[in-house]
Structure 1
Amino acid sequence: MAEPVGTCANCGAATATSRRKHARYCSNACRQRAYRQRVNEPVTALDSFIGRDDELSCLTTLRDNRVLTLIGPAGVGKTRLAKEFTAGQGVVWVELASESNVVRACATALGVGEPALSALVCALADQTAVLVLDNCEHAVAECAALLEPLLLGCPGVRVIATSREPLRVPGEVLFAVRPLPLRRAVELFADRARANQLGLRIDNSEVLAALCARLDRLPLAIELAARLVTVLPVPELLARLDDRLELLNRGNRTAAERHQSLRAAIAWSYDRLSADEQHVLRCLAPLPGDFGLDVALAACDLPADRVLALLSALVAKSLLTFSGAGRFEQLESVRLYGRERAFAGDQPGVPAANLEAVPPRVGPRGETTKTADQ
């Protein structure tokens, strides 16, 4: 009587058997590939995950799409959501924030010796795998050039990407990661603030809600602000949010540089805009957070058709949102960054964090006021 045949834990093929047990993998290559997948899984987060249950539920229904891209503005939590969504799936995690050569990054993550597209296709042609391409916004063209031939040649491969703009490849499904609902934003701030100061009591829920709303309900901004409860009461912190780009600068030591401060996170997006896109963002900075097309056209000293094209580009890059009512919206933090760049004359090649000029304060109605030392 023939012995029962086992199944490879990596590819599902039949495995060899012995008298004692079935082999777990069909070949040494599958064993090594499974090991690399485990090595490249993102480390489980050490803090609590708050406020994204609805998004996780929705993402589950999109799990079978070949290309799923999580898009959203700086600091909204795309990477963290992707980690939670893919937890336990044995994915291959490809970090692109510090790497512009997408093929080389994928080859390294997969353990493919030759950093060439043909080698990747050959290695994955008969495999079932999930690639997570994290932080694609500075390499969207390279990602697109990789994905179409890779997906055509490797039917068992699926891709989950995080980016501030779409990859624009066939079959791509976009999932917009938006700022937290206000109630969840408040919950996140309270959780992180109490972690920074044990026993902290926050009695004024209205002040806390106002604080999170002013921070655009962005998880990064909220977590950076929560670190300041050791030196500032919440009402005082709220009063100082006009200076948030200077104030919110104490990120986790192990975080990527662009997540060390709110200014760095927004600069990562701004520095990747074209000169005309940067110009329009600066022109829009004096406007209130919600405005119509006519106001935008009046604010920008460019032909109307050019302005419309640039507004479309800023929407695609998650620096503006467009509502069904025909209104554009910009996050207050982005608007303050645009003011800072405009006030400094946007000196070429000088990061905003190094500018000696003090940016104007922005009042509650969007007006500009000078500080005492200006």
Structure 2
Amino acid sequence: MNSLKDLHSDTVLRFGPYTFHLNQRLVLHGDQPLRLGGRALDILQVLVEHAGSVVSKDELIAQVWPRSVVEDINLRVHIAALRRAFRDEHNGDGYIATIPQRGYSFVASVQQASQAVPVPIETAHQPRHNLPARLTPVIGRDAMVGSLVRQLPVRRFMTLVGPCGIGKTTVALRVAELLLQHYRDGVWLVDLAMIDDPAQVVDHLTRTLGLGVGTTLQALEQWHALLILDNCEHLQESCRTLIETLLTSAPRLSLLVTSREPLLASGETLMPLPPLVVPPASALRSVEEFMGYSAVQLFVSRARARQQGFALREQDLKAVREICRRLDGLPLALELAAAQIDALALVGVQAQLDNCFQLLTQGRRTAVPRHQTLKAALDWSYERLSPQEQTVLQRLAVFKSAFNLEAAKGVISCATLQSANLTCVMESLVQKSLLSLELVNGASRYRFLNTTRSYALEKLEHSGALRTYEMRYAGYISHARSSDRHVAL
């Protein structure tokens, strides 16, 4: 191995079948230029200048991003891009080695050419995209983002699923940002919440991609791009058809979908997005330990943005834990609650949790309407349910904790809602992320998020049936307890 010193801008470096022209910031494989982004080239230059030596992650970040604070995942993404670019049938990944707990090393032999060889000057690749500017950091999603970044170019079709407010769009956009340099024809956000007519899906896609009126999907056959199909749940069948067509006809396209339910399309890889992690009661011992939980990190970060000088104190831990717990670790709910800190202070926010939909009404004015408030996000889901699904969702909200199917049938079945139909409807609500299904000691139990239950209870009260089903619930539970039947937690 060799270490290169005193490199000049007109230096030409050779390793394997590759030539790195430092002056032109260009890497050639034979006479073919590699498409590498600016950050990847910066990292490559640092590594080849120290070929045979270990360069720590901190040193790489300091040299490549000298005036920015970046996450480790940024570095890992560009290292992965370099490895993909240099992968060939003879060498595999034999250029950049990961040295555990230390950093990275360029392990191939590097020679300095005796003189610069003229090469064609190619305009630097400028990623094409329509991604919105990100104004705040993404918190608590590094593992999910990293997994998607690694898998998406290979699997090609992945769906982020979860309830409203869980942060599916945020995660998808972060993945898109990190993959910008990977796709020759760009990264594109296609927001399907903007349309309701299934017949408009293809036209909306081609318009978003700037392909002009009347363009067919054949125009994408040679595209090497990532498409983010956002909010697909209300156009499930049309999206399924579109995706299966694209996967077949455009082999270099990758598709990242967000939806509140699986599309059930061929080749789909599901990625359920969990809530942020809420601290247990045992974490109340110190601020430092408490700040290790992602729900707390997000809440505190957003509170500091609203109230200058906001600092978490030991006497605040119980209140913040209760806020995070009652809001289910949902990023949207936590952000909206933090936005009330300057007006209500922590004690006021906690006191308003029983009336959470009035608390969480000051939304983000720059967001699309369905993301401005938690109620708007739930309205988006609720309005797309069938009348029978709406009825079942309302009535099940009388359960204060987890419940099984037998209990649900006992409390809300009636002449117009037979037990067999109820089972199908509840399965549908699980698919739509409005109920969660979990296994407890081998038995299936259903559970609401607190925020979804509050919303459904409000709908049940407005229907005039709240008292009726509260009494049915109380009667059923009383009878079950006297019979020693464990139907609810």
User: Which whole-Å CA distance do the structure 2 matches of 1:46 and 1:338 have between them?
Assistant: 32
Which residue of 1 is the match for residue 462 of structure 2?
A: 344
User: Which whole-Å CA distance do the structure 1 matches of 2:35 and 2:234 have between them?
Assistant: 35
Which of the residues 188, 195, 200 maps onto 2:298?
188
Which residue of 1 is the match for residue 157 of structure 2?
A: 67
User: Which whole-Å CA distance do the structure 2 matches of 1:128 and 1:299 have between them?
Assistant: 53
User: Which whole-Å CA distance do the structure 1 matches of 2:425 and 2:159 have between them?
Assistant: 22
Residue 8 of structure 1 and its aligned partner are, at CA, apart by 7.9
Look up the SS of the partner of 1:87 in the other structure.
helix
Letter in 2 for 1:317: K
Look up the SS of the partner of 1:291 in the other structure.
coil
Which residue of 1 is the match for residue 273 of structure 2?
A: 177
Q: 1:54 to 1:89 in 2, by over 3 A?
A: closer
Which residue of 2 is the match for residue 273 of structure 1?
A: 385
Letter in 2 for 1:54: A
Letter in 2 for 1:141: E
Which residue of 2 is the match for residue 298 of structure 1?
A: 410
Which residue of 2 is the match for residue 133 of structure 1?
A: 229
Deviates more, 1:322-331 or 1:96-105: 96-105
* Structure 2 residue 432 is matched with structure 1 residue 322: no
Contact 2:349 2:359 in 1 (8 A): no
Give the 5 Å matches for 1:1-374.
5-7=31-33, 9=35, 21-24=120-123, 38-40=128-130, 42-63=131-152, 64-90=154-180, 91-100=187-196, 101-115=200-214, 119-120=216-217, 122-182=218-278, 183-203=293-313, 204-301=316-413, 302-325=417-440, 326-345=444-463
Residue 346 of structure 1 and its aligned partner are, at CA, apart by 8.2
Gap runs ≥5 in structure 2: 1-29, 37-84, 86-117, 181-186, 279-292, 468-472, 475-489
Q: 1:346 to 1:273 in 2, by over 3 A?
A: farther
Look up the SS of the partner of 2:254 in the other structure.
strand
Which residue of 2 is the match for residue 372 of structure 1?
A: none
Contact 1:103 1:115 in 2 (8 A): no
Look up the SS of the partner of 1:102 in the other structure.
helix
Q: 1:109 to 1:255 in 2, by over 3 A?
A: same
User: Which whole-Å CA distance do the structure 2 matches of 1:113 and 1:147 have between them?
Assistant: 20
Letter in 2 for 1:332: N
User: Which whole-Å CA distance do the structure 2 matches of 1:341 and 1:59 have between them?
Assistant: 37
Letter in 1 for 2:423: L
Higher relative contact order (CA 8 A, sep 6+): 1
Contact 2:157 2:268 in 1 (8 A): yes
User: Which whole-Å CA distance do the structure 1 matches of 2:155 and 2:119 have between them?
Assistant: 40
Contact 2:149 2:178 in 1 (8 A): no
**Deviations for 1:23-73, whole angstroms, at most 9, x for unmatched residues?**
459xxxxxxxx87x6242x13411121111221233234222121000100
Q: How many residues align?
A: 330
Residue 77 of structure 1 and its aligned partner are, at CA, apart by 0.3
Residue 21 of structure 1 and its aligned partner are, at CA, apart by 2.6
Q: 1:112 to 1:8 in 2, by over 3 A?
A: farther
Which residue of 1 is the match for residue 64 of structure 2?
A: none
User: Which whole-Å CA distance do the structure 1 matches of 2:204 and 2:343 have between them?
Assistant: 41
Look up the SS of the partner of 1:335 in the other structure.
helix
Look up the SS of the partner of 2:251 in the other structure.
coil
Letter in 2 for 1:109: T
Letter in 2 for 1:314: L
Contact 1:9 1:24 in 2 (8 A): no
Q: 1:154 to 1:133 in 2, by over 3 A?
A: same
What's the C-alpha RMSD, in Å, of the aligned pairs? 2.6
Look up the SS of the partner of 2:403 in the other structure.
strand
Gap runs ≥5 in structure 1: 13-18, 26-33, 348-358, 361-365, 368-374
User: Which whole-Å CA distance do the structure 2 matches of 1:60 and 1:108 have between them?
Assistant: 26
Letter in 1 for 2:219: A
Letter in 1 for 2:243: L
Residue 98 of structure 1 and its aligned partner are, at CA, apart by 1.1
Deviates more, 1:171-180 or 1:285-294: 285-294
Contact 1:6 1:22 in 2 (8 A): no
Residue 288 of structure 1 and its aligned partner are, at CA, apart by 1.4
Letter in 1 for 2:342: T
Q: 1:58 to 1:6 in 2, by over 3 A?
A: closer
Residue 242 of structure 1 and its aligned partner are, at CA, apart by 1.3
Residue 289 of structure 1 and its aligned partner are, at CA, apart by 3.4
**Deviations for 1:190-228, whole angstroms, at most 9, x for unmatched residues?**
111111001123322121111110011100000000011
User: Which whole-Å CA distance do the structure 1 matches of 2:340 and 2:227 have between them?
Assistant: 37
User: Which whole-Å CA distance do the structure 1 matches of 2:339 and 2:331 have between them?
Assistant: 13
Letter in 2 for 1:224: L
